[in-house]
Amino acid sequence: MGGGKMAGILPVDTRPWPERRDEALANQTMRTTISLTTRRLQAGQLKVFSDYPEAEEARQRAILDKRAAIKDMDHLLEQFSQAVHEHGGHVHLARTAPDAVKLVRAIAEDSKVRRVVKTKSMVTEEIELNRGLIEDGIEVLETDLGEYIIQRAGEKPSHILAPAAHKNREEVLRLFERDASQSGIEPPPDDDAKTLTQYARRRLRQEFLRADMGITGGNFLVAETGSVVLITNEGNADLVTTLPRVLVSVVGVEKIIADWQALQNIIQQPALNGVGQRLSSYTTIVSGPTGGDAAEGPQKWHVVLLDNGRTGLRGTEYEDVLSCIRCGACLNVCPVFRQVGGNAYGSVYSGPIGVVETPLLTEGTILAEMPMMACTMCHACVDACPMDIDLPAHILSLREENVEKHAGSFSTRQTYRWWARWWATPTGYQRSLRMARAGQRFYMRDGMLRTAPGLAKGWFQSRNMPPVAKETFHEWWKRTHEEGGDRHE
Ligand code: SF4
């Protein structure tokens, strides 16, 4: 990867966090479904590891392999590109999201593509590929069930692994009924999960056969053989990669791994940690277009390798973020994510990894405030992460950077300095509590402190807190232990 470092470009919901958060909190259906889904997925992760202790050893090896691959990324990507080329494929490097979209649009134009079928891919969400293709008059259809549902709803994925995690069955039925009225296919008779799935299957089957181009992401890039590896639970990747005459795989550069031994170590991890399965139901491996040894598959195969700010993280304290396998385990345990769901984060990457990754990829130009706002510092994410990515440490570092950048005015700095000195002494701390207790009644509603004067007002914009107790612990201790009071009170 030659050339200078360049910040990535990500689509973003520019509304302030309190607005996005409050909108999410008001959506009771979404909150119920997200809460149920995340708890179910987390329970699956815990169970599979307790039933299958050997998985832990593979996880440890996978971390070592992945960290080594990130260090050796330049060489491995070259090896990957060489192997793809030898098998008749083409590799393109996109430095930014617009570069990647431009490349895919050019490939589609060159091949006179009118219809595209896609697998689920966070990278193509990141670059807003569908929008670019639709602008060119191309029909784009998502074939992953969750993505198909949210495409019908005109929404964004709310979870890295389960894009429609915020929708319940009644909502899906209504979307499919509307879809059926346009497609002419018999609508599903009820909201049973099986009949809903059967409808999507009937509907999508005809589209696979009509499509000119298949577009996929990629879970892993194997440098040794120039292979793109996809894991799914629905098998749609098999059809997307074999039926259309042109195939484009859009994959982040950080997905590189050295060889098949490394693949063996890591391939179970997304399923184990994401959904609590020992292995995903389908593994699709693409190593070249049809011709030569391959009896079936696309006539043309292009791989678009996306940087978009990723290589800028190498050699920094945040390098381990590039080991993320998008399993979603950190989302499933996050108390903030469980309340607000993915769409409130304002980026395609949500939850703890999104809070860290979005500002990092964009050099702090996008959603830099999220590490301050959407984390309780409970550390549940680092325990859940199979790749041992130290998300809480990164969130703290990003908070520090944010404060350095934005708390720049002399008066703000002086106020924080004064506050730090005042609270560093027991007397200062206890006096400030007494002052707060005396004045707090003006700022209380329904038994909680909802606002405060001066600088503290901003803190209460997204939080509330219980009032200072009538008697603090220190006061109680003093009264009962130091002034000859009743010690058994
Ligand atoms: S940060 Fe860890 S837990 Fe979160 S999605 Fe990535 S690999 Fe999974």
pLDDT digits (tens, 9 = 90+) for 305-317: 999 999 999 999 9
The model's pTM = 0.87
Distance between CA 449 and CA 413 in Å, rounded? 25
Over residues 293-319, the mean pLDDT reads 92
Sign for the pseudo-dihedral over CA of 385, 387, 389, 390: positive
Q: Is residue 404 situated within a structural domain?
A: no
Secondary structure of residue 37 in the 3-state scheme? helix
How is residue 480 annotated by DSSP?
A: I
Q: Is residue 353 situated within a structural domain?
A: no
Asked if 305 contacts 334 with a C-beta cutoff of 8 angstroms, the reply is: no
Does residue 127 sit in the same domain as residue 259? Answer: yes
Q: Is residue 297 situated within a structural domain?
A: yes
The neighbour count for residue 59, using CB atoms within 10 Å, is: 19
Give the angle 217-219-220 at the CA atoms, nearest 5°.
Answer: 115
Residue whose CA is at the smallest distance from ligand 1 atom 6: 324
Q: What are phi and psi of 389, to 5 degrees?
A: -80, 125
The neighbour count for residue 197, using CB atoms within 10 Å, is: 14
- Specify the pLDDT at position 297: 84
Residue whose CA is at the smallest distance from ligand 1 atom 8: 327
- Specify the pLDDT at position 429: 92
What confidence tier does 292 reach under pLDDT thresholds 50, 70, 90? low
Residue ending a domain, choose from 312, 336, 351: 312
Q: Is residue 357 situated within a structural domain?
A: no
Asked if 389 contacts 325 with a C-beta cutoff of 8 angstroms, the reply is: no
Does residue 307 sit in the same domain as residue 417? Answer: no
Distance between CA 399 and CA 368 in Å, rounded? 9
Orientation angle between helical segments 28-51 and 17-25, nearest 10 degrees: 90
Cα Rg, the chain, nearest whole Å: 26
Residue whose CA is at the smallest distance from ligand 1 atom 2: 385
Nearest to 37, CA basis, from 271, 350, 331 = 331
Residue ending a domain, choose from 283, 312, 341: 312
Does residue 23 sit in the same domain as residue 144? Answer: yes
- Domain extent, residue 88, equals 17-167+212-312
Q: Is residue 396 situated within a structural domain?
A: no
Over residues 95-114, the mean pLDDT reads 98
Q: In what order do the strands lie in the sheet with 90-94?
A: 90-94, 300-306, 246-252, 213-216, 115-118, 139-142
Give the residue, out of 161, 272, 353, with the most ligand 1 atoms within 8 A of its beta carbon, to mutate for a pocket test.
353
Q: Is the pLDDT of residue 488 over 70?
A: no
Give a three-class secondary structure readout of 64-101: HHHHHHHHCHHHHHHHHHHHHHHCCCEEEEECCHHHHH
Over residues 280-299, the mean pLDDT reads 85
pLDDT digits (tens, 9 = 90+) for 432-442: 999 999 999 99
Does residue 422 sit in the same domain as residue 303? Answer: no
Q: Is residue 7 situated within a structural domain?
A: no
Does residue 128 sit in the same domain as residue 245? Answer: yes
Distance between CA 188 and CA 195 in Å, rounded? 6
Does residue 307 sit in the same domain as residue 415? Answer: no
Distance of CA 320 from the midpoint of ligand 1 (Å): 11
In this structure, which long-range contacts are made by residues 25-29, counting pairs with CB atoms below 8 Å and at least 24 apart in sequence? 25/339, 25/340, 27/166, 27/341, 29/166, 29/168, 29/171
Secondary structure tally for the chain: helices H, strands E:
23, 12
Domain count, the chain: 2
Does residue 290 sit in the same domain as residue 418? Answer: no
Residue whose CA is at the smallest distance from ligand 1 atom 4: 330
**Exposed e or buried b per residue across 451-476, where buried means at least 16 C-beta atoms within 10 angstroms of its C-beta:** ebeeeeeeeeeeeeeeebeeeeeeee
Does residue 150 sit in the same domain as residue 285? Answer: yes
Asked if 141 contacts 115 with a C-beta cutoff of 8 angstroms, the reply is: yes
Over residues 186-192, the mean pLDDT reads 95
- Specify the pLDDT at position 489: 44
Burial class (CB in 10 A: 0-12, 13-18, 19+), 89: buried
Q: Is the pLDDT of residue 413 over 50?
A: yes
Distance of CA 324 from the midpoint of ligand 1 (Å): 5
Distance of CA 33 from the midpoint of ligand 1 (Å): 21
Does residue 307 sit in the same domain as residue 419? Answer: no
| CATH code for the domain in which residue 292 is found | 3.40.50.10420
Write out the H or E segment, with its range, that includes residue 158: none
Enumerate residues lining ligand 1, CB below 6 A: 160, 324-330, 353, 384-387, 389
Residue ending a domain, choose from 265, 289, 312: 312
What confidence tier does 453 reach under pLDDT thresholds 50, 70, 90? confident
Q: Is residue 365 situated within a structural domain?
A: no
- Specify the pLDDT at position 2: 47
- Specify the pLDDT at position 364: 86
Q: Is residue 332 situated within a structural domain?
A: no
